[in-house]
Amino acid sequence: MRVPPEPTTPLEDKSPKRKPPSKSAAGLPAIISTTKHGLMKMGLMGSLTNFYNVNKFQGFDCPGCAWPDPEGSRTIAEFCENGAKAIADEGTKKRASPEFWSKWTVRDLSLKSDKWLNSQGRLTHPLILRKDSEYYEPISWDDAFEVIANEMAPLRPDQAVFYTSGRTSNEAAFMWQLLARRYGTNNLPDCSNMCHESSGVALKETIGIGKGTVRLDDFDKSDLIIVVGQNPGTNHPRMLTALRDAKKNGASIVSINPLIEAGMIRFKHPQNPLEVLGYGTEISDEHVRVRLNGDQALFRGFAKVVLEASLEDSGFISGFTKGYEDYEKLARNTSWDLITMLSGVERNEIERIGNLIAKSKATICCWAMGITQHKNSVPTIQEISNLLLLGGHIGREGAGLCPVRGHSNVQGDRTVGINHNPSSEFMDSLRREFGIQKLQTRGLDSVDAVRSMLQREARVFLSMGGNFVSAMSDTNATSEAISKCSLTVQISTKPNRSHLITGKIGIILPCLGRTERDQSGGSEQFITVENSMGVVHKSVGTRPPASNNLRSEVSIVSGIALAIEDKIGFSDIKWRELSADYDTIRDSIERVVPGFDSYNERCRENGGFYLPNPPRDSRIFPTKTGLANFISNDLVSISPNDGEFLMMTIRSHDQYNTTVYTDNDRYRGIYSGRRVVLMNKSDMEANSWEEFDEVSITSEFEQKVVTSDRWRVVEYDIPRGNVATYFPEANVLIPLNSVADKSNTPTSKSVIVNITST
């Protein structure tokens, strides 16, 4: 019998170190860090070629984040410090070869940290962990496909789960969903379910599409940019350039965040010597210290002020919206006491910012995980949408809603069909294109997939990228769920914990990364991606593959599909042809998904093309009412009892989701340790805790109690009663059933916890 592996990174026993948090982002430290990561992992030549090709018209799309590239001329170095880390991490010279896997049992590997696992380098060969075996061993591609087909052929289609992480290209994602639907299921959970699902659900109801309504050039034309629940200095560093330029054009910038993040204070553009050595540009004019989960109330407060300022309707409200009267009444009747209590922000501050909003002719509101990962995320985003509708800020130059996406192609994946709940039109088109049966039932999202595996309903979990075990909430429940599967398959580039917590059989299929040349079918292939603002463009790998045994994601999907087809006699999808020429995949996408006309031509143009966006382009709102909807929601907020804390789980400056590069968080001044609890000084005093004291954190939900030990208290400028920890370490504390209403997203930013001395 296999000894069960550990689902989490081992606990640290060292104490972290502290420096004062940074007062500016990027600058010289970013240049030093970029160089260090590049040289250490890829060497000099690797760094030069890789960094030269990123985000070039003829190069590859940065795998870091979904922030768009400038449309006009591009600089020699069109990337940021953290994009460079992501590229260096993929471009590493180290290899996790079969010899490596033969030396370690999975149990022993599971006792190593996530950082250590990732630092073993690129996967090189298909690997199998056979039933009851302790070791992974190499397997041929064909045999691996055969094992998968043998396990899957006898199942009911809804017993398989096809997870997708958002780095997957449009082409691979389209093939992946096609495989799932051909197999007969909509079980297509994806990282979106833990990320911007709340934005999609909320905006579909208000404006009719689940995407934002701004383009990059709107930032130059805006007079007010609100950045709420987002830490762009770390997670979307190139956004700081847009904010800096907007600022120079006279825009005001308001940051709304319980933490004062370095990037929102000041920015020194790393490619501008004067800025690097000088003072840089101040970013935020106002910083609103909202209490964790207080944004819905705060935005209601802003709406109240805007309504009091007797705004004149330019015809937008009467001509393009519905539900105004109800919302107006609701906002006017919401008491200031409730708003200030829930938001933790004083009335005069809300009024000051509210007046800025009332006066603005063009407001953009950007948000990310600080808004989407709460129980009331959907109503909070609808409150943001209501506020912008009040001022007619949708479908206007320099204005709009801007959910800033995470993974570099998470938006594209959804566009081409990675969706557990696809529209009827999409399924109709897929049937027309491929002759496959139209599936009526909704599939499993991430949380429901875990529930289903726990019940032994779903039996096989296949993963296109990502690290589900570490990324999902409730690590114990998730790993128990995965362990109950008969088979788990991971299509990956680097080792991670999802390779160790497996079904009875575990398979790893190593794939090409985005920076690498793809010669599938014998000729040079490229892929396409969609950025956060709906621009679809091509991405061409330029580096030699990390190993000759790697296959592209597209050809791996095709291999799995053909093997299953062989067993259960599928119909006539031309998997081989599709995977041998990605143009044919794009032709199919063009026929199935609206907006991709002349896809193959237009994606070859420099910079690509914009997908249609009716609210942005022509104030057409494809909602049920045919108008943009004001939505009147009750104000709700999570209220911990006395002595309890509300905890958010966030990213450090040196991680990419579950991939931890180092144990440092430079901007927040925390070094050599990740098991830290950022806490207000008064809360520390009230509990007689000193800096670095060891504590345990407990969460309790629906009578299930989980305790996590060996955390260190760190004094930080954070509202009283709120604390912050890093994920994935803190994911054990997020209960599986604690999810956002309507979007089912784990509440990673509002977990009620008790903290006790150990």
Ligand X SMILES: Nc1nc2c(c(=O)[nH]1)N[C@H]1C(S)=C(S)[C@@H](COP(=O)(O)OP(=O)(O)OC[C@H]3O[C@@H](n4cnc5c(=O)[nH]c(N)nc54)[C@H](O)[C@@H]3O)O[C@H]1N2
Position among 749, 752, 753, 755 found at the interface with ligand X (CB under 6 A): 749
- Only segment of 161-169, 358-366, 600-608, 613-621 that touches ligand X (CB under 6 A): 161-169
165 binds, among ligand X, Mo ion, none (CB under 5 to 8 A by kind): ligand X
Side chain identity, residue 64: G
Q: Does 230 bind ligand X (CB under 6 A)?
A: yes
Position among 24, 386, 632, 649 found at the interface with ligand X (CB under 6 A): 649
Nearest in space to 15 (alpha carbons), one of 529, 675, 575: 675
Nearest in space to 298 (alpha carbons), one of 259, 260, 354, 253: 354
Tell me the two tokens of residue 546. Answer: 């990390």
Q: Does 727 bind ligand X (CB under 6 A)?
A: yes
DSSP letter assigned to residue 236: -
Position among 294, 391, 406, 412 found at the interface with Mo ion (CB under 5 A): 406
Q: Does 368 bind ligand X (CB under 6 A)?
A: yes
CA distances from 100 to 46, 89, 108, 163 (A): 24, 18, 12, 27
Tell me the two tokens of residue 728. Answer: 């994935």
Name 144's Cβ contacts closer than 8 Å, sequence gap at least 6: 126, 128, 507, 509
Torsions phi, psi for 457 (to 5 deg): -80, -65
Q: Does 573 bind ligand X (CB under 6 A)?
A: no
Q: Does 233 bind ligand X (CB under 6 A)?
A: no
513 binds, among Mo ion, ligand X, none (CB under 5 to 8 A by kind): ligand X
Strands 224-228 and 252-256: parallel
Please, what is the minimum distance in Å from the beta carbon of residue 661 to ligand X? Answer: 9
Q: Does 734 bind ligand X (CB under 6 A)?
A: yes
**SS3 assignment, position 54:** strand
- How many Cβ atoms from other residues are within 10 Å of residue 1's Cβ? 5
Residues 455-474 that bind ligand X (CB under 6 A): 464-468, 471
CA distances from 222 to 72, 219, 483, 523 (A): 19, 5, 51, 45
Cα–chain center distance at 79:
19
How far is it, in rounded angstroms, from Cα 395 to Cα 392?
8
Please, what is the minimum distance in Å from the beta carbon of residue 449 to ligand X? Answer: 12
Position among 252, 257, 532, 708 found at the interface with ligand X (CB under 6 A): 257
For ligand X, the closer CB: 258 or 270: 258
Q: Does 663 bind ligand X (CB under 6 A)?
A: no
Please, what is the minimum distance in Å from the beta carbon of residue 61 to Mo ion? Answer: 16
Position among 78, 197, 223, 261 found at the interface with ligand X (CB under 6 A): 261
For ligand X, the closer CB: 370 or 545: 370
Cross-strand pairs, 490: 463, 508
For Mo ion, the closer CB: 270 or 406: 406
DSSP 701-756: ETTEEEEEEEEEEEE-S--TTEEEEETTGGGGGS-TT-B-TTT--B-TT-EEEEEE
- Only segment of 30-38, 351-359, 491-499, 572-580 that touches ligand X (CB under 6 A): 491-499
How far is it, in rounded angstroms, from Cα 90 to Cα 137?
23
How far is it, in rounded angstroms, from Cα 154 to Cα 149?
9
Q: Note the helical H segments in 435-540.
A: 446-454, 468-471, 475-483
Tell me the two tokens of residue 147. Answer: 């094992």
Position among 123, 127, 195, 511 found at the interface with Mo ion (CB under 5 A): 195
Please, what is the minimum distance in Å from the beta carbon of residue 631 to Mo ion? Answer: 24
- Only segment of 65-73, 131-139, 230-238, 400-408 that touches Mo ion (CB under 5 A): 400-408
Side chain identity, residue 713: V
290 binds, among ligand X, Mo ion, none (CB under 5 to 8 A by kind): ligand X
Q: Does 370 bind ligand X (CB under 6 A)?
A: yes
Q: How many helices (H) and strands (E) does the chain have?
A: 30, 31
Please, what is the minimum distance in Å from the beta carbon of residue 25 to ligand X? Answer: 12
Please, what is the minimum distance in Å from the beta carbon of residue 581 to ligand X? Answer: 21
Tell me which residues touch Mo ion (CB under 5 A).
Answer: 195, 406
Tell me which residues touch ligand X (CB under 6 A).
Answer: 64-65, 82, 165-167, 191, 194-195, 228-231, 234-236, 256-259, 261, 290, 292-293, 295, 368-370, 373, 406-407, 464-468, 471, 491-494, 496, 511, 513-514, 553, 648-651, 655-659, 727, 730-731, 734, 748-749
